[in-house]
């Protein structure tokens, strides 16, 4: 990939996601290069995309995976779309290293 699916910020990092709701299980699937050249983290959640359930599942999965409280993960864009941006508060380089370790 030409770039990571995240951007370091002064307060942590911002992740670009492609979310698939109603999947068999909650999991991070790796990165994907989009047709426009952007890179996103593929995320699958078992929750359905109804009344914010899938967004809540994404936030819970990211918090659990990155070892931060759910309150440290917030949706920035894409409330009703598959492509989302989320902010994760914390030590940006440490969060990026944790994400890299999770994705192998």
Determine, yes or no, domain membership for 1.
no
Determine, yes or no, domain membership for 45.
yes
1: pLDDT strictly greater than 50: no
pLDDT tens digit sequence for 27-60: 999 999 999 999 999 999 999 989 999 999 999 9
* Tally of CB atoms within 10 A around 53: 15
State the pLDDT at residue 2: 56
Domain of 79, in residue numbers: 6-103
Q: What is the CATH number of the domain that holds 53?
A: 3.30.1200.10
67 touches 61 (CB < 8 A): no
Of 84, 102, 67, whose CA–CA distance to 16 is shortest?
84
What distances in angstroms separate CA 7 from CA 22, 41, 79, one per listed residue?
27, 12, 19
The pLDDT of 80-84, averaged and rounded, is: 94
**Could you give the number of structural domains in the chain?**
1
């Amino acid at each position: 990939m030409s770039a990571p699916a995240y951007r370091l910020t002064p307060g942590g990092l911002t992740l670009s996601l492609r979310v698939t709701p109603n999947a068999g299980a909650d999991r991070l699937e790796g990165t994907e290069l989009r047709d426009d050249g952007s890179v996103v983290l593929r995320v699958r959640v078992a929750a359905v995309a109804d009344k914010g359930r899938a967004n809540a599942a994404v936030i819970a999965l990211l918090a659990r995976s990155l070892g931060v409280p759910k309150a440290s993960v917030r949706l920035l864009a894409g409330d009703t779309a598959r492509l989302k941006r989320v902010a994760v508060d914390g030590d940006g380089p440490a969060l990026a290293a944790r994400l890299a370790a999770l994705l192998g």
